[in-house]
Amino acid sequence: MHNREKVLAAPQKEAQQMIRENILESWKVACWSIGVVYDNQTESEKMSSETTQNNGVGFSGPDARNFTFWAKLIRESGPDVVFSNSVRANLSQKICKYSRQILEHLRDLQEKE
């Protein structure tokens, strides 16, 4: 994440906007973000590719199947896996709505340091 310290120092809404901008500017940040949200899924949700708990973390019901597929592919192949520009743009745009979870993850990492 570019400017991680700046993101963490910013107020919530501004920090989330900065995260969204980072995602749209960098495919590697988008891939990392997909992984962060995927890791928030429960183990059963990861296995079934469906959202079974309305707990405010992980992918929403409509996104669960597609994002679980892409997250697993990215994990197996790395961010350099070949995606068309339209797929990259679509995934980057859609993962932006999870900026709150990504910010929470960054804050958790900061606390562990």
Mean pLDDT by 10 residues, the chain (113 residues): 87 96 96 95 78 78 90 90 89 97 94 85
Q: What is the pLDDT of residue 2?
A: 66
Residue 61 is predicted with a pLDDT of 84
What pLDDT is recorded for position 98? Answer: 97
| Any domain includes 100 | yes
Compute the C-alpha angle 31/16/68, nearest 5°: 30
Distance CA 3, CA 14 (A): 13
Residue 36 lies in a domain: yes
Q: How much is the pLDDT for 1?
A: 67
- Give the distance, in angstroms, between the CA of residue 76 and the centroid of all CA atoms in the same chain: 16
Indicate whether 55 belongs to any domain: no
pTM: 0.90
Q: How many domains does the chain have?
A: 1
**What residues make up the domain containing 39?**
4-47+60-112
For residue 89, being part of any structural domain is answered with yes
